[in-house]
Amino acid sequence: MAEIIEMPKLSDTMTTGTLVNWLKQEGDSVSAGDMICEVETDKATMEVECFEDGVILKLYAQEGDSVAIGQPICAVGEKGEEAPAVESGGDSVSSGDDKAAQETESKAQPAQDEASSQEPKQAPKPAEAETKAEDAQKAEEQDVEDEEKAADTTEGPDIRVSPLARKLAKEKGLDLTLIKGTGPAGRIVRDDVLKAEKEGTAKPQPKQAPAAASAPAAPFIEEKTFKVTNMRGAIARALVGSKAQSPHFYLQIEVDGKPITDLRAALNHKLTNLPPEQGGVKFTVNDLILKAATEAVRRVPAINREWKGDTIIQHGGVQLAFGVAIDDGLLTPVIRDAHAKSLRQIAHEAKELIGKARNKKLKPDEMSGSTLTVTNLGMFGISDFYGIINPPNAAILSVGATVKTPIVDENDNITIGYRMKVGLSGDHRVIDGAVGAQYLSALKDVLETPSVMLV
């Protein structure tokens, strides 16, 4: 007997999923454990597993459809078996007989409409048509007479013209100064305009080119409208909730970026060309910042807190989230127990999570449970900014680019320096400005003496 596969609940907050790709098609054989489709939830793109053996009889949902939890997506059964009819919202998915009947009805309706449109219309009676024509002609003649009797319109200092003649000359593009008026006091009337047009005595006025400013500019990029995906919608709801519920305050500190840049260069010089089994690795600036942010929590543990309404929790370990930009938004994978991991381990795990994020393969539990978040836009040349707090964290770090700039050294001499700005957005319900300032000061010490991260 055919079994209906329904949309499963793939995350705690999921209510609907967007079916982005079918991995199996109608008629394909499947076994329990096979992945049959990919679904985008509010957090990630995940595969849906089949728990039945048989053949895909029917696909009830198409790629791009938004499907609610529990709604049928396909039927699995024996080859040749008829797929069961299901209902999806107000639209029913029916078997072949019902579908044929619907097609027959839809084809019949246009034929009926066409037949109706071809029915002869009742022609007006001759006497009635003649009366209407006479009325229209009289109305037109009256309009002309009214125009000619209307008050004169002065067109320049010496030209008098009736409204109808002025309108007619404009339509025909004739110069009123070249038309001789035969009306009272030399007024130009309609017949004068028609005569001038016929004799060619009033040359058309040269048309003025429209001003460049008034012409609409041609678009230089394609105008598009995008549907809000589940992921984009989830990001929007979370960030609106964060700004609405968490009273943000902002701090910033400037750090000497040369020590961490020099350390990275020295490590990569020695390790990049070695094979992995001999300790080969290549570090990014972000790897060192993630490690430094974790080490600074040891010195100011109050930054690692969470608001719970009636209580405030200070977490015993650092579950470090970091921002990864993808086409559809920003994901924040989490490095578990970052406080217990070396720089090498943090770099390796960050690289794996970044790859998963960009391929939309992150699992929900790889993006939840963070206690502190770091977001870095330095690689885009951004010098300073402030992020929105990632709930339920008490703070988020915003790291800018290291910029070469003139500075005053310890001997009061102007020299070239390398400066990095680090911002902090804090939840004032959980921490105060003093805690944020202490944490930034501790982070500055670690970044300017980065060797402490290696012990």
**Catalytic residue ranges:** 428, 432
For strands 372-376 and 395-408, give the pairing: parallel
**Residue showing tokens 């910042």:** 289
CA angle 372, 377, 378 (to 5 degrees): 115
Helix axes 433-448, 258-271, angle to 10 degrees: 50
DSSP assignment of 62-106 equals: -TT-EEETT-EEEEEESTTPPPPPEEETTEEE--HHHHHHHHHHH
297 neighbors 339 (Cβ within 8 angstroms) = yes
How far is 175 from 171, CA to CA, in rounded Å? 11
How far is 279 from 270, CA to CA, in rounded Å? 10
CA angle 262, 265, 266 (to 5 degrees): 85
Going by the DSSP 8-state scheme, the letter that residue 454 receives in this structure is G
What Cα–Cα distance (Å) separates residue 67 from each residue in 18, 55, 61, 227, 354?
6, 22, 8, 15, 28
How far is 110 from 442, CA to CA, in rounded Å? 77
DSSP assignment of 307-352 equals: E-SS-EEE-SS--EEE-EEETTEEE--EETTGGGS-HHHHHHHHHH
| Tally of CB atoms within 10 A around 286 | 19
420 neighbors 447 (Cβ within 8 angstroms) = yes
How far is 289 from 315, CA to CA, in rounded Å? 21
